[in-house]
């Protein structure tokens, strides 16, 4: 490594994934190794996910260092997702980061997970000032930069889009992740079933949709599963498109970027693309490898933080399970 190279090791553990990424200021992302906990049944059990993370931490860390061809001694600083996320899961990643920072005498960098989903998309897509549609298992946020921070121009009032789609798919006996299975079934639908479509101002609500669709699925009503899946995703994605379109009109950004795990949805990509075309703005989706939770995005965002003087003493490094996107200063942002 050269003298002026900054190398950041980033650890992700907000929910289902234990990930380690390594970013070099000269060479870009050197490694992105992720290991996801898959529940045997039901949703994510925070304690079981945390146990998974602790059990794979050493293997994932060693693999990332080996792929990047660096040693811990070469690392400039250690970054970790401090929140938002599940407490038991966050605690594993932060404990590993704290131990590495203390043992190797490296600075510790606190990274906000939502900021990381946005920054990795801006970096990989080379887009400077987009309206961001961030849809994942735990978050559904429409955000854009304004006056020093990413501001929230719309969000879910209850459950996240990914969670909503996963729970529905799981409860009706389709596999996980929910979106591709629901979208496949929806292809054979013949009619639309009216379901709760709830947009309040700039925000959306998905829990009423989920409750009603599950009620229909478990009732004696004569319905076809294909029609229900089609209506479910049309309603959920429709709400998201509406609040995105409203945020676009409000912010007047000239590009829309889709990020987070649900960004892999081909149907959602197509719908956003059509809406963006109507408004003559660019539409881009983060590459699939970096759509869901990953260590690479924490390493890269850790680099942005570290190079702007953002570090935290180990003894003050508490996790922040409810750390909102709009609480974070973004000193590296340069507006056109
Ligand atoms: P994240 O929390 O960012 O890792 O995103 C997790 C979410 O991504 C889950 O709730 C899934 O519904 C969603 N997801 C995972 N794989 C796919 C896929 N191939 N297509 C659409 N959504 C997906
Ligand atoms: Mg995420």
Which residues, in sequence order, are CB contacts of 138 under 8 Å at separation 6+?
A: 14, 15, 84, 85, 160, 162, 163
Residue 215 lies in a domain: yes
Q: If we measure between CA atoms, which residue out of 13, 14, 12, 35 comes closest to residue 22?
A: 12
Confidence of residue 261 (pLDDT cuts 50, 70, 90): very high
Q: Whose CA is nearest to atom 21 of ligand 1?
A: 265
Number of domains in the chain: 2
Q: Is 179's C-beta closer than 6 angstroms to any atom of ligand 1?
A: yes
**Do 53 and 81 reside in the same domain of the chain?**
yes
Q: For position 307, what pLDDT does the model report?
A: 97
Enclosing domain of residue 178:
119-290
The 10 Å Cβ neighbour count of residue 267 is 16
Phi and psi at 33, nearest 5°, equal -115, 125
Q: Which residue has the tokens 């709400």?
A: 239
Whether 258 and 127 map to the same domain: the answer is yes
**Residues 229 and 316 both lie in one domain:** no
One domain, residues 35 and 93:
yes
Q: Which residue has the tokens 């990930």?
A: 19
Do 138 and 154 belong together in one domain?
yes
Give mean pLDDT, residues 243-252.
97
DSSP 207: H
Tell me which H or E stretch contains 100: helix 87-103
State the chain's mean pLDDT as an integer: 97
Is residue 335 situated within a structural domain? no
Q: What is the pLDDT confidence band of residue 335, given thresholds at 50, 70 and 90?
A: confident
Residue 217 tokens read as: 């699925």
CA-closest candidate to residue 39, choices 97, 80, 86 = 86
Q: Is residue 1 part of a domain?
A: no
What's the mean pLDDT in 15-40? 97
Confidence grade of residue 1 (pLDDT, cut at 50, 70, 90): low
Domain harbouring 215, CATH code: 3.30.420.40
Nearest to 296 by CA among 5, 29, 17: 29
Sign of CA dihedral 102, 106, 110, 113: negative
Higher pLDDT, 3 or 16: 16
| Distance from C-alpha of 236 to C-alpha of 259, rounded to nearest angstrom | 17
Please write the tens of the pLDDT for every residue from 301-319.
999 999 999 999 999 999 9
Predicted local distance difference test score (pLDDT) of residue 43: 87
Gyration radius from the chain CA atoms: 20
Q: Is 130 in the pocket of ligand 1 (CB under 6 A)?
A: no
How would residue 281 be classed by pLDDT, with cut points 50, 70 and 90?
A: very high
pLDDT of residue 336: 65
Domain assignment of residue 308, yes or no: yes
Least confident range of 33-42, 82-91, 117-126, 149-158: 33-42
Q: Tokens at residue 273, please? A: 């693309």
Please check whether residue 333 lies inside any domain of the structure: no
Three-state DSSP at 263 gives: helix
Q: 60 with 144, same domain?
A: no
Query: Is 332 domain-assigned?
Result: no
Domain shared by 172 and 252, yes or no: yes
Q: 197 C-alpha to center of ligand 2: Å?
A: 25
Tokens of 281: 């703005």
Whether 334 is in a domain gets the answer no
If asked whether residues 108 and 123 sit together in one domain, one would say no
In a 3-state reduction of DSSP, which class is residue 69? coil
Same domain, 284 and 313: no
Give me the pLDDT at residue 41, please.
Answer: 84
Q: What is the pLDDT of residues 41-83, one digit of tens each?
A: 888 999 999 999 999 999 999 999 999 999 999 999 999 999 9
Confirm whether 190 is domain-assigned. yes
| 250 and 184 in a common domain | yes
Ligand 1 atom 8, closest CA: 261
pLDDT score for 107: 98
What is the C-alpha separation between 188 and 36, in angstroms, rounded?
31
pLDDT at 181: 98
C-alpha 209 to ligand 1 mean position (Å): 19
Number of the ligand closest to the Cα of 162: 1
Q: Which residues pair with 82 in a beta bridge?
A: none
> What's the pLDDT score for residue 192?
98
Shared domain for 141 and 151, answered yes or no, is yes
258 and 161 in a single domain? The answer is yes
CA 70 to centroid of ligand 2, rounded, Å: 27
Tell me the backbone φ, ψ of residue 54, rounded to 5 degrees: -65, -35
């Amino acid at each position: 490594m050269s003298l002026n190279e900054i190398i950041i090791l980033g650890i992700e553990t907000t929910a289902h994934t234990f990930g380690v990424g390594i970013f070099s200021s000269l060479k870009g992302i050197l490694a992105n190794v992720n290991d996801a906990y898959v529940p045997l049944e039901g949703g994510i059990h925070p304690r079981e996910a945390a146990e998974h993370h602790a059990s794979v931490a050493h293997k994932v860390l060693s693999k990332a260092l080996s792929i990047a061809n660096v040693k811990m001694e070469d690392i400039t600083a250690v970054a970790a997702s401090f929140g938002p996320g599940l407490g038991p899961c966050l605690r594993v990643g932060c404990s590993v980061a704290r131990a590495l920072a203390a043992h190797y005498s490296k600075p510790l960098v606190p990274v906000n997970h939502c900021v990381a989903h946005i920054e990795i998309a801006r970096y990989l897509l080379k887009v400077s000032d987009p309206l961001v549609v961030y849809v994942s298992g735990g978050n559904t946020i429409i955000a854009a930069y304004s006056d020093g921070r990413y501001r929230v121009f719309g969000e879910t009032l209850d459950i996240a889009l990914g969670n909503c789609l996963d729970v529905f798919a799981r409860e009706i006996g389709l596999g996980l992740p929910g979106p591709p299975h629901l979208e496949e079934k929806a292809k054979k639908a013949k009619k639309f079933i009216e379901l709760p479509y709830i947009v309040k101002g700039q925000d959306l609500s998905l829990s009423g949709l989920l409750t009603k669709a599950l009620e229909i699925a478990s009732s004696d009503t004569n319905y076809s599963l294909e029609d229900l899946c089609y209506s479910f995703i049309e309603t959920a994605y429709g709400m998201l498109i509406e609040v995105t379109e409203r945020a676009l009109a409000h912010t007047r950004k000239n590009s829309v970027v889709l990020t987070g795990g649900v960004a892999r949805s081909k149907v959602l990509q197509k719908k956003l693309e059509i809406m963006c075309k109507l408004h003559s703005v660019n539409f881009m989706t983060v590459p699939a490898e970096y759509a869901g939770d990953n260590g690479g995005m924490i390493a890269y965002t850790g680099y942005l933080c570290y190079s702007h003087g953002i570090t935290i003493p180990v003894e003050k490094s508490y996790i922040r399970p409810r750390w909102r996107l709009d609480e974070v200063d973004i000193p590296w942002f340069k507006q056109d």
